[in-house]
Copies of this chain bind each other. A is one copy, B any other.
């Protein structure tokens, strides 16, 4: 369908402009850039909602032979184009454009507000975003009997996802996690984490990140790694993937984790097939599945003893021989220390999901109208006390830490925890098929895992829905068990329990 390919191509241009705004654009460019992004969003929307797309879809859907195999390229493209078309035709172009313009400006305002820890500066922008998101949810609609407006927003990121369903997964997960974290902190003995205070210049960290990413399989001839305030993975298509990372002078693991995380996203994008560019078969399944890839490389790989067995031998030539004083236990321990903290992106694997739960509950209450934007800081701080036992010192380290809401993304955060669940379940399946996977990592060989993911997940594009893909790849329904097995199995022994 040439019109939807045109829309996709124009969207790819918007992606490059978005990347440029975060990494390269001089500050003076903001005003015109907002106009450019708004124009592209409007034009893309116009193409994606062209009545000829609806006519083409109807004709395809009426063609029984075309649709006979629901997982054929044609049938998948029709099914997913239909989903996107139905969503797109429900929003007026003016709302699309206003959201694009507003979020472009408010991302900048958020960055300034965060710098100054000044929520009041960000508040009017977020209020406007919330108003526009409610309008957007109303356009999409939701199951009025069992659902709520938040569902209409979340469906954009994770097809079929509802607040009720998320709540039903988060509740037991919170109980199990609370038990584990409590045991570790009260009964366990924390591993040595001295390496997390090892001061390394940012340039050396970046060079090490590039080396590791190249080694695990990110193709720099088809992508870039730059820096930005909030790391992300963008770009226009599989052969031009733009990732960013962020490095802390104080802690190498922060930046390395961030780089490996984004490379997981980046390798998913690079693993999509160029022949399908511009069609759903050339696109990723959902944010939850996307996140499973980033989490797996960050956590199942990057925090494993096997990874550090290899990495500890490579590190000194990037950061100096002084790094030789750390033992394998030091590296492995430092990567896995559990410590409740304020910052989500710095969180350990065990407490991470508690951060997500707080964001989910707040954004759900906001969209429900039970909480005003002005009330976010106090609710945020109260929940951090309750869930993580922490007194948030300022909004910079509190409710201003994430870029997502400034981008108009509500209903997005839970996909991070879905990603953690999928990652653990996929990784168990991979290890079952390749029992020597960890030995490969210890030798610096990551191609086995990467090729497995390419074949099982990346190259399939949107052929399967998230839950179906999970069942096909792992033979099981999505379950919290693999994640809890992963965390319990690693952390209890590490903490001497």
Which residues of A pack against B, CB within 8 Å? 6, 9-10, 12-13, 16-17, 20, 24-29, 31-33, 35-36, 39-40, 43, 219-224, 236-237, 239-241, 277
Contact = CB atoms under 8 A, between A and B. Distances in A.
A6 B239 CA distance: 29
Contacts of A31: 239
B16 A20 contact: yes
Contacts of A220: 26
A101 to B, nearest CB: 13
B17 A239 contact: no
Given A26-B221, A26-B223, 20 more contacts: A6-B39, A9-B32, A9-B35, A9-B36, A12-B36, A13-B17, A13-B36, A13-B39, A16-B36, A20-B20, A24-B24, A26-B220, A28-B219, A28-B222, A28-B223, A29-B237, A31-B239, A32-B237, A32-B277, A33-B240
Contacts of A27: 221-222
Nearest to A223: B26
11 contacts: A12-B32, A13-B40, A16-B20, A25-B240, A26-B221, A26-B223, A26-B240, A33-B236, A33-B240, A36-B236, A43-B43
A446 to B, nearest CB: 20
Most buried by B among A29, A31, A33: A29
A35 to B, nearest CB: 6
A64 to B, nearest CB: 34
A241 B43 CA distance: 25
Contact of A239 (B20, B24, B28, B36): B28
Contacts of A222: 26-29
Copies of this chain, tallied across the complex: 2
Contact of A221 (B6, B28, B239): B28
A53 to B, nearest CB: 17
A32 B242 CA distance: 14
Most buried by B among A6, A27, A31, A240: A240
A220 B6 CA distance: 35
Contacts of A6: 39
A283 to B, nearest CB: 14
Given A25-B240, A26-B220, A26-B222, A10 B32 contact: no
A437 to B, nearest CB: 28
Nearest to A240: B29
A64 B33 CA distance: 37
B277 A24 contact: no
A433 B29 CA distance: 34
Nearest to A35: B9
Contacts of A10: 39
A224 B26 contact: yes
Contacts of A239: 26, 28-29, 31-32
A271 to B, nearest CB: 13
A281 to B, nearest CB: 16
Contacts of A43: 43
A364 to B, nearest CB: 37
A400 B43 CA distance: 39
Contacts of A223: 26, 28
Contacts of A24: 24, 224
A31 B12 CA distance: 13
A24 B242 CA distance: 10
A178 to B, nearest CB: 44
Nearest to A32: B237
Q: 7 closest pairs, A vs B, by CB?
A: A29-B240, A28-B222, A28-B239, A13-B36, A32-B237, A28-B221, A27-B221
Nearest to A5: B35
Contacts of A236: 29, 32-33, 36
Contacts of A35: 9
A443 to B, nearest CB: 28
A93 to B, nearest CB: 14
Contacts of A17: 13, 16
